[in-house]
Structure 1
Amino acid sequence: MTAESAEGPVPEDPAADPARPAHVSLHDRVSGARGDLEQRAQQARDQLEQKVEHARDQFEATNERIKKRTGRDLFAAIGVGVVAGLGLLAALLFAKVVFVIAAVIIAGAAVVELSAALRARGRRIDLAPQLIGTAAIMIAAYWFAMPVVWTALFFALALIIVWRVLSQMMARDGRVYASIFSDIVVGCFVPIYIPLLASAALMLARGDGGEWWVLGFLIVVVVSDTSAYASGLLFGRGGRHKLAPSISPGKTWEGFYGALAMGAVAGVLVAIFLLGLPWWSGIVFGVVLVGAATLGDLGESMIKRDLGVKDMSSILPGHGGILDRLDSILPSAAVALVLFFFLGPLAS
C-alpha cells in the first residue's frame, strides 16, 4: 500500500501552481472592486467631457457661421433679448409706472445714440433740448390727453430750434446758413422719430387692459423679426431675392414672407387669447404690424446707410445699439395705437 492510499490524498500546495491565485482577503476584494468602480467612473467622466467639448465646438462653429453671414452673434442676441424682454414684461404687467420710467430711459438712450451718430457726421445736435423734449412728450403721452402730447411736441421742437440758433450765435464759427438750417431740420427729426413714436406705446398702456395691447404688438413684432431672420437663413441663402438691396442688402423676400406668415399666426393667437378679438381680426393685426415693422427696419437701415455706420452703437451684444432694437418697434407702436381704435370695439 502506498503512502497516498494509506494516508489519503496529499493536499495541494497553492504556491506550487502559479496559475492559481492565493487566498484573497475581504479587504483586497473590496479594494479591487473600488478600483474598478473608480476606473469606470473616470472613463465615464472622460467620455462626458469629450461629448461636451464636441458639442461646444459645434456650437461655436454654428455661431461663427451665422455671425459671418449676418454680422450678429445670435446666441448673445438671444440672451440679451430674453433678459430685456422679461424685465419689460414684468414691469408692464405688474408696475406700469416702472414700465413708463423704463420707456422714457430707453427712448432717451436712443436719442443720445442717434444724436452721437449725427454729430459724428458733422451735424450740430444739442443733447439737452433733445432729452428735455423726449421726457416731456412721453410723460404727456401717459398722464395727459392727446392735445397735451401735441403741445409737448411743439414745445420740444421750439426748444430745439431756439437752442440751436442761440448756440450758433454764441459760437460765431462762420458756419453757413445752409448748414445751420440742416442742423435744425435734422434736430427736429429726432423727437418725431423716437419719442413721438415711442409715446404711442404709453398711450396704449395707460388704459384699462392696455398692457395686453402693448404686449400683443410686441409679441407680433418679435415673432416677425425672428421669423424674418430664420426664413432668410433657411430659404434666402446667397440673398437670392433681395428685398431692398440699395438699403439693406441682407434682407430677402424669403425672410419677409416668413415674417408675414408667422406674424399672421402670432396675430391670430394674440387676438384670441390676449385681446378677446375675433380670429380674423388677428390676421389683420399681424399682417399690418409685420408691414410696419419691416418698414421701420428699412427706415433705420436707410438712416444708418446715410450715416455710414453698420450699427448705431455696440452697447447691446449681438444687437448693436438700442435704436437697432427699436427700429421695428417704434412705427409698430403707432400702428398698434391706430389698430386699437379700429379693432378695439370688436373685443368681446
Structure 2
Amino acid sequence: MSTEPTASAATTASPSGEAVVGVPGQEPERARRRGAGRNLPAAIAVGVGLGAVLMVAVFVLPQAFPVVAAVAMVLAVLELTRALAHGGLELPAVPLLVGVIGMVVTTEVFGAEGLLVSTAAAVCVLILWRVSESMGLSALRDVAGGVFALAWIPFLGCFLLLLFDREQGSMLVLLAILGPVGNDIGGYVAGVLFGKHPMAPRISPKKSWEGFIGSLLMGTAAVTAVGHYALDLPIWVGLVIGAVLVVISTCGDLSQSLLKRDLGIKDMGHLLPGHGGVLDRVDSILLAAPTTYVLLEVLLP
C-alpha cells in the first residue's frame, strides 16, 4: 500500500513521469531508484528489442504483423486471466484464446464487420462454456470477467489491424503507437528532472503532474511530426491526435494501476524484464489504437 505525502515527507521524481514520496534526509537519487522499482538497463534493452520486432513486422515483413499482434494479445489475455484469479475469478482460458484468434482472423479478412461479429460470437461461446460447468453467482462473475478480457484486449487490439489495412497503414500504426511511447519517455524524463507534485497518490503515487506535462509535450510532438511529414496530415490534426493519445495513455496507465492495486499484485506478468508482463507494456496502446481510428474518421472523414 502507498501513502500520501505529508508535511514531513520529501517528494522526489522517478521514472515514467512519477513522483516518489520519501523521508526527510533521504538522498534524491536513492529515492528515485527506490521509486523506479525496475531494472533500467534491462528495461531499455527489452524496449529496444520490442521496438525492433514491431518495426520489422510493420515495415519489412507486413505479412507478419497480424501474427505478432495475435501472439501479443494471446499472452496478454493469459496474463489477465492469471491476474484476475487473484481476485477470485476463474476465467475459462480455452474459449478466451479461441476468441482472440478468431477475432484477429475475421478482422484481417472481413474488417470492422468481421470484428463485431466475431466479438459477439466469442462472448456467446464464453457464456455457454462457463455456464455448462456450473451455475450460480460465481459463474456470473466469471462471465463478466471474461467479457471484460475480450473487450479490453482483443477487441481494442484489433483496431491496430484495422488501421494497418488502410492506405498508408504502416504509418498509421506507428502514429497510434507513438502517442503511448512519447507518453512514457516524456513522462520519464520530466518526472526524473522535475517531478514534485503527485498526480493521483491513492492510485499511482509515483506519477507526477510535471511528468504528465513532459508526456504531453513529447507525445504530441512525435505524433504531429509523423502525421505531418509522413502522412501529410494538417498540423492541427496531429496536435489534436497527439494530445488526446497522451491523455488516453495516462488514463490507461492509471486504470491498470488501480486494477493491480485492487488485485494486490505489482505487475500483470513477468515475461519482460524491467517492464513486467506483455499487458503492462501494451495497456496504453490498446486504448490508443481505437482512439486513433475514431479520431481519423471524425477529423478526416
Which 10-residue stretch deviates more, 121-130 or 139-148? 139-148
Q: Distance in 1 between matches of 2:284 and 2:139?
A: 30
Distance across 2 between alignment mates of 1:264 and 1:312: 28
Separation in structure 1 between the aligned mates of residue 164 and residue 99 of structure 2, nearest angstrom: 20
What is aligned with 2:289? Answer: 333
State whether residues 268 and 283 of structure 1, in contact with CA within 8 Å, keep that contact through their aligned partners in structure 2. Answer: yes
1:218 lines up with 2:177 in the alignment: yes
> Does the 8 Å contact 2:107/2:113 carry over to 1?
no
Please report how far the alpha carbon of residue 267 of structure 1 lies from its aligned counterpart in structure 2 after TM superposition: 2.2
Among 75, 96, 106, the residue aligned to 2:62: 96
Shift of 1:67: 3.8
Identity rate, percent:
39
| In 2, Cα distance between equivalents of 1:217 and 1:117 | 27
The alignment status of 1:273 with 2:229, answered yes or no, reads yes
Matched positions, count:
274
Q: Which residue of structure 2 aligns with residue 82 of structure 1? A: 48
Equivalent position of 2:131 in the other structure: 165
Cα deviation, 1:62-104, whole Å, max 9, x if unaligned, reads 9986542211212211110111111111111122220110100
Asked if the contact 2:253–2:284 (Cα under 8 Å) also holds between the matched residues in 1, the reply is yes
Alignment of 1:184-203 (within 5 A): 184-203=143-162
Contact 1:216–1:274 (CA<8 Å) still a contact in 2? Answer: no
In structure 1, what residue type is equivalent to 2:79? E
Give 3-state SS (helix, strand or coil) of 2:206's partner.
Answer: strand
**Deviation per residue, 1:85-133 (Å, 9 max, x gap):** 1111111112222011010011000000000111233211110000011
Question: 1:271, 1:183 → 2: CA distance?
Answer: 42
Match of 1:107 in 2: 73
CA distance in 1, matches of 2:293, 2:54: 19
Q: Deviations over 1:223-274 (max 9, x none)?
A: 11111122111111xxx32111221111111111111111221122112222
Name the residue aligned to 2:202.
246
Q: Is the 8 A contact 2:86 2:264 kept in 1?
A: no
> Counterparts of 2:106 and 2:30 in 1: how far apart (Å)?
45
Q: TM-score, normalised by structure 2?
A: 0.87
**273-282 or 309-318: which moved more?**
273-282
Give the SS at the match of 2:230: helix
Matched residue, 1:13: none
Alignment partner, residue 257 of structure 1: 213
CA-based RMSD: 1.7
Which letter maps to 1:255? G
**Match for 1:316 among 252, 257, 272?**
272
Give the alignment of 1:3-152 within 5 angstroms.
66-152=32-118
5+ residue gaps in structure 2? 1-27
Q: Deviation at 1:178?
A: 2.2
Aligned match for 1:302, one of 258, 263, 266: 258
User: CA–CA distance in 2 between the matches of 1:160 and 1:299?
Assistant: 25
Please list every run of at least 4 consecutive aligned residues from structure 1 whose deviation after the TM superposition is greater than 3 angstroms.
Answer: 62-67
- Flag structure 1 segments of 5+ consecutive residues without an equivalent: 1-61, 170-176
Asked whether the 8 Å contact 2:191–2:211 carries over to 1, the reply is: yes
Give the distance between the partners of 1:206 and 1:145, measured in 2 at CA.
8
1:294 to partner: Cα distance: 0.8
Q: Which residue matches 2:298?
A: 342
- The structure with the greater share of residues assigned to helix is 1
Q: Is the 8 A contact 2:179 2:249 kept in 1?
A: no
Does the Cα contact within 8 Å between 1:224 and 1:259 map onto a contact in 2?
Answer: yes
SS at the partner of 1:316? coil
1: distance between equivalents of 2:32 and 2:63? 39
Contact 1:66 1:72 in 2 (8 A): no
Change (3 A) 1:318 1:298: same
Q: CA deviation at 1:146?
A: 1.9
Letter in 1 for 2:155: L
